[in-house]
Every structure is written in structure tokens, then in C-alpha cells.
């Protein structure tokens, strides 16, 4: 956790919108976007999550010179593969204004509450909350993201 600098770029917004299959020109066409209500390109509502790209220590990105837990010669590149791993349980965003190309955001990530629950489908569940506050280059708060991750005792039963 800590503080991350997140430069918002037009090509990143375009690729993110493509990944969610959103063809709205407000995410990729500066001329069309300028004529619309948004007044220019903006980021789609879940784009804030892409701050992960700018977290130097992000654990879900392979790093040069370090073993990766995905498959290579063997199904996992590490001896002790993480058990069932973490899953995303909840995500909540509060928007104070849309993110725009050229914004340079400072994102402060803080741990929130932690709680446990017993589940028939996956054993003991441990929930961890994480709150991220996104401030722009003027120091104004523009986005608040609250995520809840869950670690399961075993893979979720598909029955």
C-alpha cells in the first residue's frame, strides 16, 4: 500500500475501453468527445482500477528476474503455489469528476476493515477492505475506490 503516481493517458483509456467492449467515442475520439457533453475524452467508470499498472510492487504482474506463479515448464513457476489465492468480493466507486487524459493522479491506498465468514462453497473466508483515494494535480479529490478482497480456504465449489 502507500502512494502511487497515476498518469492518465489517452491510449491507455482507449485500450481499457476496448477491453470492456465499449465503443463509445468519448473514450477514443478526441474530436467527437469535444463536441459532446463531456467536452473531451474521459475515462470509463472502472478505469481507476488500472492504477495497478503504476504500482511498482504490484504482486499480480510478472517481474523481470523473479519467479512467476503462473505456468512455464510446470503448471506453476513457484514451488509453493499460492493456495486458492485471492478473489475480488466487492468494488465501490464514488466519482467527484471524470478522469481525463493529462491528469496526473496521486493515489493513496489504505487498508480498511478485515473480517471472516464461514462458507459451504469455499471454507473459511477472510475479507480485507482497501480504500484508495485519487487526487488530481491540484490536490482535489476526484475518485474514491473501496475494494473488498476475499481469500478462500479452498477453490470455490462450482456446484
Partner 1 sequence: MALHASRLKIGDTHSETVVDNLPRTQIVQYAGASGDYNPIHTDEIYTTKSAGYPSVFAHGMLTMGLTGKMLTNYVGDGRLTKFGVRFTNQVWPGDTLTSTATVTAIGDGIVSLDVVTTNQDGKEVVRGSAEARIDP
106 φ/ψ angles, rounded to the nearest 5 degrees: -110, 120
> Could you say which of 4, 98, 125, 134 contacts partner 1 (CB under 8 A)?
98
Rounded Cα distance between 39 and 53, Å, is: 27
* Residue 10 is a binding residue for partner 1 (CB under 8 A): no
What does the block give as the cell for 55?
Answer: 504500482
Q: Which is nearer to partner 1, 135 or 152 (CB)?
A: 152
Binding mask 63-92 for partner 1 (x = CB under 8 A): -----xxxx---xx----x--xx-xxxxxx
Give the number of residues in contact with partner 1, rule: CB under 8 A: 51
Interface residue with partner 1 among 45, 106, 119, 130 (CB under 8 A) is 45
- 23 vs 138 by CB, closer to partner 1: 23
Determine the 3-state secondary structure of 5 from DSSP: strand
Residue among 77 and 106 whose Cβ is closer to partner 1: 77
- Inter-CA distances, 9 with 67, 73, 107, 108, 144, Å: 30, 36, 16, 19, 19
Grid cell for residue 122: 469455499
**119 is an interface residue for partner 1 by CB under 8 A:** no
d(CA 127, CA 111): 11
Nearer to partner 1, 49 or 106 (CB): 49
Residue 117 touches partner 1, criterion: CB under 8 A = no
Does the footprint of partner 1 cover residue 60 (CB under 8 A)? yes
- Residue 14 CA to residue 16 CA, distance in Å, equals 6
Residue 158 in contact with partner 1, rule: CB under 8 A = yes
Structural Rg of the chain based on CA atoms:
19
- Give the angle subtended at the CA of 38 by the CAs of 32 and 40, to the nearest 5°: 50
Tell the smallest beta-carbon distance from residue 108 to partner 1 (Å).
Answer: 18
One residue of 21, 65, 139, 159 binding partner 1 per CB under 8 A: 21
Amino acid at each position: 500500500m502507500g502512494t502511487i503516481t497515476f498518469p492518465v493517458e489517452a491510449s491507455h483509456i482507449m485500450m481499457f475501453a476496448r477491453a470492456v467492449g465499449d465503443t463509445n467515442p468519448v473514450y477514443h475520439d478526441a474530436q467527437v468527445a469535444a463536441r459532446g457533453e463531456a467536452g473531451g475524452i474521459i475515462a470509463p467508470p472502472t478505469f481507476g482500477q488500472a492504477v495497478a499498472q503504476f504500482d511498482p510492487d504490484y504482486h499480480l504482474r510478472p517481474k523481470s528476474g523473479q519467479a512467476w506463479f503462473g505456468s512455464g515448464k510446470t503448471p506453476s513457476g513457484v514451488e509453493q503455489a499460492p493456495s486458492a489465492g485471492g478473489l475480488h468480493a466487492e468494488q465501490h466507486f464514488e466519482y467527484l469528476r471524470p478522469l481525463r487524459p493529462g491528469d496526473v493522479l496521486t493515489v493513496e491506498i489504505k487498508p480498511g476493515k478485515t473480517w471472516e465468514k464461514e462458507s459451504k462453497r469455499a471454507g473459511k473466508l477472510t475479507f480485507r477492505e482497501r480504500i484508495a483515494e485519487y487526487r488530481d494535480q491540484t490536490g482535489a479529490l476526484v475518485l474514491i475506490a473501496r475494494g473488498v478482497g476475499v481469500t478462500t480456504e479452498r477453490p470455490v465449489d462450482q456446484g
